[in-house]
Chains A and B, each alone.
Chain A
Amino acid sequence: MPATEYQGSFLSRISIRRNQVVSMDGNHEQELEELEIFQKNISERFSDLISDDSSSSSNSASSSEPFLSIAWVRKLLDVFLCCEAEFKAVLIMGRDPSLISKPPLDRLIPELFDRAVKALDICNAVMHGIDSVRQCQKLAEIAAASLEQRPLGEGQARRAKKALAGLLSAMGIDETSGGHKSAERSWSFGRRGGGGGGVSVTKDRGSGQSRASTWGVPKNWSAAKQIQVMSANLVAPRGAEASGLAMPVYIMSIVTVFVMWALVAAIPCQEKTGLATHFQVPRQLGWAQSMVWLHEKIGEELKKKEKKGASPVGLLEEIQKMEKLGQSLLEFSDGFQYPVPEEKLDEAAAQVADLTETCRRMEDGLVPLQHQIREVFHRIVRSRTEVLDVLDHAGKSSAPSV
């Protein structure tokens, strides 16, 4: 069975709750208890994400994934999937289905659906973004492989330079010392950037060729805008509403928007201007403190990038590393003269090794990351479909048929 069926066993464990007989009196208390557990679990999971970062190399027992690395992002997605499963249990199982069509849920659920659709589009855009990252990885691999050659000659240096210039130009970083400047400011793989190699761009048959539609999303689609709209109507339920289902809906919505926001920040996506400010995690939420911390940290990085005027490429740790190493090695290649002094060579070699390692991590991690995002996609679709079904059948006492 394809991934659409993956969570079968998990749900069957939860489904025993369907048989719970809930008395009118105990109902409310039980709800509150459920809510508390839900919040607690979320809080724990997100704090796990932080402790990974702060637990430094001294404690090798815990799996410390560098902040915003591919592995960390995968963990984040795991957290999302767990929260989502629990949310669905809270929302659907063991409850009177007609509750979903009554206030305040009758207003909140459509908003939830809308957010779900936007999240799906973000998943698709991020999938595409990861493909772009793989393109970068390949360019980096060319450079690394060239610079690994011994003896290191001018040919290898020029080859590396060409690849690195292309890499950086694709990242929207204009590093060319002279000659051709890449006009493209965003991810574009129609052309390898000029670089000092002076690749003839004049043979371009029409500019349409170079800007190959790399995004797979509509021209005016903006990741930042999606996030902004998703978070626009996130309002904490108050008063009587706060004790009902509206609360878990709110909680899950915050989690969803946060995860999507973090994904967009980490991975190259179309149009990210203003991302840093488009979403805030309310600071007063007890269960969300870890999320607040993470949000701040990521937000800081975003702002730093925006200030530098660099197009917000992707905060993914491996991308950042690649950018840094790429710049340094480009300088090295650009100023290459045979023979290279021992010291300089060693320095470059260390960086090359680093770059190779980064590429390896990308090679190992990016495809599984894509699989996971696809998983997230499926899960969101499935939940939405199930809730829609319950809605459509609300009013009938029979169980929903899917």
Chain B
Amino acid sequence: MSSPEDGAKAMPLEAAEKLILQWDSTASEDAREKMIFESERVEIDRYLLAVDEVRRSMSGVSLSDEDPRASSTIQIAMARLEDEFRNILITHTSPLEADSLAESTHSISESTYSFSESTHSFSESSTHHHPSDDHDVYGGDEAESSARRSSSGSINYRSTSSIREIDLVPAEAISDLRSIADRMISAGYMRECVQVYGSVRKSAVDANFRLLGVEKLSIGDVQRLEWDALEAKIRRWIRAARVCIRVLFASERRLCDQIFSGIETAIEDACFMETIKGPAIQLFNFAEAISISRRSPEKLFKILDLHDALMDLMPDIDTVFQMKTAESIRVQAAEILSRLGEAARGILSEFESAILREPSQVPVPGGTIHPLTRYVMNYISLISDYKQTMNDLIVSKPSTGSRYSGDPTIPDMEFSEFEGKTPLELHVIWITVILQFNLDGKSKHYRDTSLAHLFLMNNVHYIVHKVKGSPELREMTGDDYLRKLTGKFRQAAMSYQRATWVKVLYCLRDEGLHVSGGFSSGISKSALRERFKTFNAMFEEVHRIQATWLIPENQLREELRISISEKLIPAYRSFLGRFRSHIENGRHPENYIKYTVEDLETAVLDFFEGFPVSPHLRRRSQ
């Protein structure tokens, strides 16, 4: 700051006093209208010189001799300077430019997959599901998971921080402000200076908050909002918080330094706190409100996003708010982070409970993939995308299941089988265990046991398919477990075959057809006719019914049909071959030999398509 000694001629005390009185804003209209610091530089300097002169005259005088008039003059000068200070600040306060508000480090793509869009919720609504809707469940899933995979590579809120300070006030104004602050503070008017600074800057911060879309919501408001709406707000908050902390607050801090540093110890801190304490708390209040909202599964991923974003910001928060007086802000941020972690843990636990409790008892038509299965598998697939964060947060094993409590409502899981797995991995596996447990329960609601087996086969296969489709998920569960699951659905397939086909193929057996002795050539024609009739009826029934069943996965469907054919066709062919002549020699053979081998082969292709077929099979023969 320019000292009156350089160059400018010293001002006599009387002139100084006169000048100051001239600019007393209570004294004249003129003084009120014009601002010193908007006048010519020479006027500004003169005034400052005058102030310095009066101050200097005071300092040389002992207190008891002090001219009360001098103190009055100083007070007038200080009041004036305060107004000037305020005016300069206000004049040069404008909202941040849009491009300053945009993040420079924006390559962070958020997970755009909104989990609330997925079809299932833990409710009965899943029954309106038509099996043929499922034909693209595998195709659809591919699109979904590939979209997620492309973003999962860059889902990281853990980017490197970048504090970006910008100059909020131009340099010339800064120097004027400094020269005022210096004088106010050395005259003992520091409090006034801090106060006027804080009030103007706080308005500025508020205005910028509004620009950034930082809302003032009470905790009550946040609890009342629908989660969809909150997701959008969280996204916006994350973007805004980054700018607030890294740009806005950092820049305000810099401004305090620019104006006040070197003048008085710790005054920059006081001014900074004055400016941003309220806004900072307001900013964090939203995140805090989210962290204490009621837990439900669909909230997990946005809460993880919020957690990661806040964690990413912590170093910057610690830097920007490093002064002792800002400790409560840092503490609050840490508390919120901790609560978000707790919320994530709680939601996972809630999710697991919900799977176990999921009550829908109306069986899914056609034995196809249950919406619960799809929901759960999508969910843990997404969890695997958030593996890094979740591994940090999930530190204890699943709380239920390791107890052999004998509780029939909870499956058992032997954790010692899964050595070396992280708690998160144990949870993921546990989730598939309880999913299957739930599905087992659901399968019992099918009256037809064949369908029950088919249902389990479909669903367990889907689990395997999803795990195989996600490298992270596969790594988490491990191939051993995958093999176990594979064995399970194959087992279910075999159970299905046994349940349906044993009795059908029983019609085509040799025993019981031969009659010893008598006139016929050893075959009981009536028994044979009975056999054919029974076989036809059974097969037609099975065909009619099981055509409406559905195996959505193409390969699985093919494999099962092939497996059926492999048993059915040779048996029928051989039966026909051996016994057709007996029927053809009798009356109305067409009533008994209704189908050719080709007919059966064609009919098998109808199985598990999820469509009803016309009641009469086409007859090739005759």
Contact = CB atoms under 8 A, between A and B. Distances in A.
Interface in B403-458: 403, 405, 407, 409-410
B162 interface: no
A390 B251 CA distance: 46
B350 interface: yes
Given A2-B331, A217-B216, A396-B353, A208 B203 contact: yes
Contacts of B206: 212-213
A218 interface: yes
A4 to B, nearest CB: 6
Contact of A212 (B199, B338, B353): B199
B277 interface: yes
B63 A150 contact: yes
Interface string A124-151: 1001100100010011011001000111
B580 interface: no
A153 B353 contact: no
Interface in A249-271: none
A203 B75 contact: no
A124 B282 CA distance: 9
Contacts of B216: 213, 216-219
A88 interface: no
B288 to A, nearest CB: 9
Nearest to A370: B328
Contact of B281 (A189, A214, A216): A216
B116 interface: no
Interface in B29-87: 32-33, 35, 63-64, 66, 68-76, 78-79, 83, 86-87
A218 B218 contact: yes
Contacts of B407: 397
Given A124-B285, A138-B191, A218 B35 contact: no
B83 A200 contact: yes
A216 B335 CA distance: 20
A182 B78 CA distance: 22
B244 to A, nearest CB: 15
B335 A154 contact: no
B295 interface: yes
B514 interface: no
B71 A153 contact: yes
Interface string A217-236: 11101000010000000000
Nearest to B289: A120
Contacts of A385: 292, 342, 346
Contacts of B335: 2-4, 378
Interface stretch (B219-227, B233-241, B583-591): B219-227
Interface in A1-32: 2-4
A127 to B, nearest CB: 7
Contact of B75 (A151, A158, A202, A384): A158
Contacts of A208: 203, 207
Nearest to B71: A155
Given A384-B292, A396-B400, A402 B281 contact: no
A182 to B, nearest CB: 14
B160 interface: no
Contacts of B350: 392
A395 interface: yes
A114 to B, nearest CB: 8
B483 interface: no
A199 B69 contact: no
A212 B204 CA distance: 9
Contacts of B281: 127-128, 216
B349 A155 contact: no
B484 interface: no
A155 B353 contact: no
A295 interface: no
B77 to A, nearest CB: 9
Interface in B182-228: 188-189, 191-192, 195-196, 199-200, 202-203, 206-207, 216-221, 223
B289 to A, nearest CB: 8
Nearest to A162: B79
Interface string B379-401: 00000000000000000100110
A397 B403 CA distance: 12
Nearest to B218: A121
Interface string A66-92: 000000000000000000000000000
A158 B75 CA distance: 7
A174 interface: no
Q: Is the interface of B mostly helix, strand, loop or mixed?
A: helix
B342 A199 contact: no
B618 interface: no
A117 B195 contact: no
A217 B69 contact: no
Contacts of B32: 198, 200, 202
B135 interface: no
Nearest to B398: A401
Q: Give the residue among A135, A385, A389 with the most B Cβ atoms within 10 A.
A: A385
B353 A392 contact: yes
Nearest to B349: A401
Contacts of A202: 32-33
Given A212-B206, A396-B353, A141 B75 contact: no
Contact of A197 (B69, B74, B79, B219): B79
A393 interface: yes
A189 B292 contact: no
A395 B87 contact: no
A216 B278 contact: yes
A105 interface: no
Contact of A117 (B33, B219, B396): B219
Contacts of B78: 159
Nearest to B217: A218
A344 interface: no
A371 B335 CA distance: 14
A189 B199 contact: yes
B345 interface: yes
Contacts of A389: 346, 349
A138 to B, nearest CB: 6
A118 interface: yes
A39 interface: no
A56 interface: no
B161 interface: no
B509 interface: no
B333 to A, nearest CB: 10
A156 B75 contact: yes
A217 B218 contact: yes
A209 B73 contact: no
Contacts of A138: 191, 195
Given A121-B218, A200-B25, A218-B217, A153 B91 contact: no
B617 interface: no
Interface in B326-383: 328, 331-332, 334-335, 338-339, 342, 345-346, 349-350, 353, 356-357
11 contacts: A2-B334, A4-B335, A117-B219, A153-B70, A155-B72, A159-B78, A159-B189, A190-B203, A212-B199, A212-B202, A381-B292
Query: Which 5 residue pairs spanning A and B have beta carbons closest together?
Result: A153-B68, A155-B71, A155-B75, A155-B72, A153-B71
Given A2-B334, A374-B332, A384-B292, 13 more contacts: A118-B220, A145-B191, A154-B71, A155-B76, A159-B79, A159-B189, A162-B79, A189-B195, A212-B206, A226-B220, A385-B292, A393-B353, A399-B399
Interface of B: 25-26, 32-33, 35, 63-64, 66, 68-76, 78-79, 83, 86-87, 90-91, 188-189, 191-192, 195-196, 199-200, 202-203, 206-207, 216-221, 223, 277-278, 281-282, 285, 292, 294-295, 328, 331-332, 334-335, 338-339, 342, 345-346, 349-350, 353, 356-357, 396, 399-400, 403, 405, 407, 409-410
Interface of A: 2-4, 117-118, 120-121, 124, 127-128, 131, 135, 138-139, 141-142, 145, 149-151, 153-156, 158-159, 162-163, 189-192, 197-200, 202-205, 208-210, 212-214, 216-219, 221, 226, 338-339, 370-371, 374, 378, 381, 384-385, 388-389, 392-393, 395-399, 401-402
